[in-house]
Amino acid sequence: MNYQNSLAFAIEQDELDPLKEFRDRFLIPKHKGKDAIYLCGNSLGLQPKSAAQYIADQMANWQNLAVEGWFQGSDPWLEYHKPLTRSIANIVGAKEQEVTVMNSLTVNLHLLMVSFYKPDSKRFKIIMEGGAFPSDQYAMESQVKFHGLDPKNAVIEIFPREGEVTLRTEDILNCIKEHGDELALVMFSGINYYTGQFFDLQAIAKAAHEAGAYAGFDLAHAAGNVPLMLHEWGADFACWCSYKYMNSGPGGISGIFVHEKHFADKTMNRLAGWWGYRADKRFLMAPGFDPAVGAEGWQVSTSPIILLALFKASMAIFDTLGNISTLRKKSVALTGYLEFLINAINKDLGENVFSIITPTKEVNRGCQLSIVCSRNAKAIFNYLAENGIIGDWREPDVIRLSPVPLYNSFQDVYHTAKHLANAIEAVK
């Protein structure tokens, strides 16, 4: 796209946007009586206008049907999650049986590692990216300790080269190869929360398997943001949250992926619960766990219907899209426009006050840009907030801005850049 640094250009692009109607499906926070510019969907997605009705419908079912709501009504709770698996399978590139919605992200990560982290005297190491979100770091550390191992020896973190901010794929693959004989698991984020780097998950999964290890992914910042093909890439397992790019509310329900190649493995450990028992015999209450075929066999607890209702409201919006490729096209354009405008600010100033540490190539990022401010970083962030621009602050000097294609506009991006430029003078 031939970007232009003008409001007229932004207005024109918004008028041409095939997804412009979707903005009206969300509730935009207010600032001084006007819509704020919300660029924090990488932390918490906006509320769909339909969410309240979806909850109200289930509250009415609870009121009118009580326990019979599990079996009666237009949408019985017993299989309330079933249509959601179709929606999420499209988003993460999986077969329907390979996914389900349940629990929260880190709980699911632990449940999956019971199955896929099986250290022995030879293979016990885990490779992950350095600077992963703390929950992943804590999960790896505690899983290793649970097996009586020392994290200092068992967990290998890969950091960028000296003077660089993001990881090179070749360094990841070389590390996997180097530790191949001792490697049990490669556990990576889809997108690093801090830098916004989208990792080459297909290459990582392939290298892990060649080394004789499993490949698992935390897709908290990737699901609903970038195109994923988990089945085709051969990932063994993955999990994600749904409250960021999938707009299911604070603490919204999580989901998991387990590749179908593992369904017939009867030796695979898992922490079992009644909800994961095969549905056709669940109510016989028989002893001995007989898991459902597919990802549902990893379910433990009864589905939380109210959380599922929030998720269902958002998935109805995604289902209308039909294909995430349309979303991705706008995402690339919006993020590219923000990058263009920030570079223009630096050019006008004759110095890089704002340095983007997120990869430049669109294939290596989603809709997030992480921006290092060379001076007055926190004051600039506060200036944005005071002017109705909601972003995200990360110590010591990073502002994360995420133009989400479902509800952000080119005008949002244009006005944000204008405030960034004004902030330099305003906070001296």
Domain termination site, one of 321, 346, 369: 321
60's enclosing H/E stretch is helix 51-65
Q: What is the mean pLDDT of the segment spanning 236-249?
A: 98
Structural domain ending residue among the three candidates 261, 294, 321: 321
Q: Is residue 219 within 8 Å of residue 228, measured between CB atoms?
A: yes
Tell me what pLDDT residue 323 has.
Answer: 80
Helices (H), 350-409: 377-386
Residue 384 pLDDT exceeds 90: yes
Query: In this model, does residue 266 exceed pLDDT 90?
Result: no
Clarify whether residues 102 and 249 are in a common domain: yes
Is residue 43 included in any domain, yes or no? no
pLDDT at 22: 97
User: Is residue 276 in some structural domain?
Assistant: yes
pLDDT band at 428 (very low <50, low <70, confident <90, very high): confident
On whether both 104 and 176 belong to a single domain, the answer is yes
How many structural domains comprise the chain?
A: 2
Instruction: List, in order, residues 6 or more apart from 378 with CB less than 8 Å away.
Output: 393, 397
Q: Percentage of residues in the chain with pLDDT exceeding 70? A: 100
Same domain, 316 and 383: no
Average pLDDT over residues 81-99: 96
| Residue 163 pLDDT greater than 90, yes or no | yes
Q: In the predicted model, what is the mean pLDDT of residues 96-103?
A: 97
pLDDT tens digit string along 286-322? 999 999 999 999 999 999 999 999 999 999 999 999 7
Which residue type sits at 170?
E
End of a domain among 294, 321, 348? 321
Domain hosting residue 164, numbered range: 55-321
Instruction: Tell me whether residue 45 is in a domain.
Output: no
Shared domain check, 330 and 306:
no
Q: How large a percentage of the chain has pLDDT more than 90? A: 96
Closest CA to 264 of 237, 293, 236, 288: 293
Decide if 373 contacts 36 (C-beta within 8 A).
no
For the cut 90, the answer to whether the pLDDT of residue 140 exceeds it is yes
pLDDT value for 53: 98
Q: Does 310 share its domain with 407?
A: no
Whether residue 27 is found in the same domain as residue 87 = no
Using DSSP, state whether 172 is helix, strand or coil. Answer: helix
User: What does 281-340 look like in DSSP terms, one character per residue?
Assistant: GGGG--SS--BPSSGGGG--S---HHHHHHHHHHHHHHHHH--HHHHHHHHHHHHHHHHH
pLDDT(267) > 90: no
Same domain, 349 and 300: no
3-state SS, residue 255: strand
Read off the pLDDT of each residue in 173-184 and give the average, rounded to a whole number.
97
- Look up the pTM and report it: 0.96
**Residue 198 and residue 226 in contact, taking contact as beta carbons nearer than 8 Å:** yes
pLDDT digit string (tens) for 144-153?
999 999 999 9
Mind listing the pLDDT tens digit for each residue in 207-230? 999 999 999 999 999 999 999 999
| Mean of all residue pLDDT scores within the chain | 96
Instruction: Tell whether the model's pLDDT for residue 353 goes beyond 90.
Output: yes
Q: Strand (E) positions, 42-166?
A: 47-48, 99-101, 125-129, 155-158
